[in-house]
Structure 1
Amino acid sequence: MIDTKTEVAKRLSALIGLDVSWVSHAGDMLTMQFGPQRKYILQGKTREDGAWALHVQCDWKLEQDNRTVATRENLRGSDEKARDTTKCLHEVLLLKGPVMVERVSADTTGGVVLSFSQGFRLGVVPDGVKDDEDWRFFAPGLNAAHLVIEGGAVAPESFD
């Protein structure tokens, strides 16, 4: 049996010491990249992404010094609202100086907390809905298994 807490903490420990290098969204999914940007080819097209990516499709909250900066709800609604939220996140995490991952903690239900420099903290809380992806962590452009949390547990394809 997979120990979700241990597996998540082990995999996400790769982020410690890396800066947030990009923030975006796809619908109400938060997408974050970490580490230096690198170029690679995907389906015949040149792309540039960070060394690691985190895609969050469940509840999340970004705080700075215990004040809420944004939540999943801020990406829901109009496209304009989502764009404004992404612009705000990009501004506070990238343009106001580097924000580095300092600590990672996980729980038994696939929840994770990333503690950053400058007092930032991202909390991710899986929905726990069976067969529904909560979040994934991967190295863009590399042919390696993604860590997928689905229904509050590590999905089997995380080890392919």
Structure 2
Amino acid sequence: MIETRAEIMRRLSALVGLDVSWVSHAADMLTVQFGPQRRYTLRGREREGGAWALHVQCDWRLEQGGGTVATRDDLRGPDEKAHSTANRLHEMVVRQGPVTVENVEADDAAGVVVSFSRGYRLFVVPDGVEDDEDWRFFAPGVDAAHFVIEGGKVVPESES
């Protein structure tokens, strides 16, 4: 049996010391990349991505100095709203950066708090809905299993 908190801490500890290199979205999913951007080929197409990626499909909020900068709701609704939010976040934490991961904390419900330089903190709060993906962590362009949280639990196929 997987100890959720310990496994999350083990996996996400790879982020400590890395800069945020990209922030975007796919529909209402927040996508954040960490580490230097590099080129790779996926399904025959040339792509660019960071060393690590975090895709968040559950509730999240980004705070700075205790104030809320953005939430999942900011990516919901019209495409223009989502694009505007993603662009604003990218500008804040990449272009005006660097913003570096300083610490990662996790809880037994697969919630995560990523603390960054410049007073930023990303709170990821799983929905706990069975068979509903909350978030995933992976190395883009690397042929390895993604670390996936569904329903507030580690997906067994994520073990490796």
Q: Structure 2 matches for 1:11-160, cutoff 5 A?
A: 11-159=11-159
Shift of 1:91: 0.9
1:25-68 alpha-carbon deviations (Å, 9 max, x no partner): 00000000000111111111111100000000000000000010
CA distance in 2, matches of 1:103, 1:145: 24
Instruction: Show CA shifts across 1:63-105 (max 9, x none).
Output: 0000100000000011111011001101110111200000000
Aligned letter for 2:107? D
Partners of 2:29 and 2:2 in 1: CA distance: 26
Q: Which runs of 5+ in 1 are unaligned?
A: none
State the TM-score, normalizing by the size of structure 2. 0.98
Separation in 2 of the partners of 1:4 and 1:115? 19
Give the match's secondary structure for 1:142. Answer: coil
* TM-score (norm. length: structure 1): 0.98
The one-letter amino acid paired with 1:98 is P
Letter in 2 for 1:101: V
Give the distance between the partners of 1:126 and 1:32, measured in 2 at CA: 17
Secondary structure, counterpart of 2:73 in structure 1 = helix
Provide the secondary structure at the position in 1 that maps to 2:23.
strand
**In the aligned structure 2, how far is the partner of 1:50 from the partner of 1:23?**
11
RMSD: 0.7
State the one-letter code of the partner of 1:10.
Answer: R
Instruction: Provide the rounded CA distance (Å) in 1 between the counterparts of 2:126 and 2:106.
Output: 11
Residue 9 of structure 1 aligns to a residue in which SS? helix
What is the number of residues matched between the two proteins?
160
